[in-house]
Amino acid sequence: MNSNLLADWFKPLATQAAATARLMVGVPDYDAYVNHMRVRHPDEKPLDYAAFFRARQEARYGDGMTRCCC
């Protein structure tokens, strides 16, 4: 198989695997968010990365992590 064909086949797979790994550990995918905003909400300006990250952290943890005991 030609190395360019192999690279063309492997790159999207590697990109998706990296995005999946980030989601598994709780790191949001900013590029996917920006693409979603561009496609689905073209009239709205997407958040910058820092604001996006803060919003995702707030959505995940809210007022902070709570414990049932000390």
What are the mean pLDDT values of the chain's consecutive 10-residue runs (70 residues total)? 75 86 79 92 96 88 66
Please check whether residue 46 is in contact with residue 37, taking contact to mean a CB–CB distance below 8 angstroms: yes
At 66 the pLDDT is 63
Rounded Cα–Cα distance for residues 26 and 61 (Å): 11
Beta strands in 1-70 (DSSP E): none
**48 occurs within a structural domain:** yes
**47 occurs within a structural domain:** yes
**69 occurs within a structural domain:** no
Task: Report the predicted TM-score, pTM, of the whole model to 2 decimal places.
Answer: 0.58
At 24 the pLDDT is 80
**16 occurs within a structural domain:** yes
**68 occurs within a structural domain:** no
At 51 the pLDDT is 95
**13 occurs within a structural domain:** yes
At 65 the pLDDT is 62
At 22 the pLDDT is 78
Structural domain total, the chain:
1
Q: Which domain holds residue 46?
A: 3-61
**23 occurs within a structural domain:** yes
At 12 the pLDDT is 87
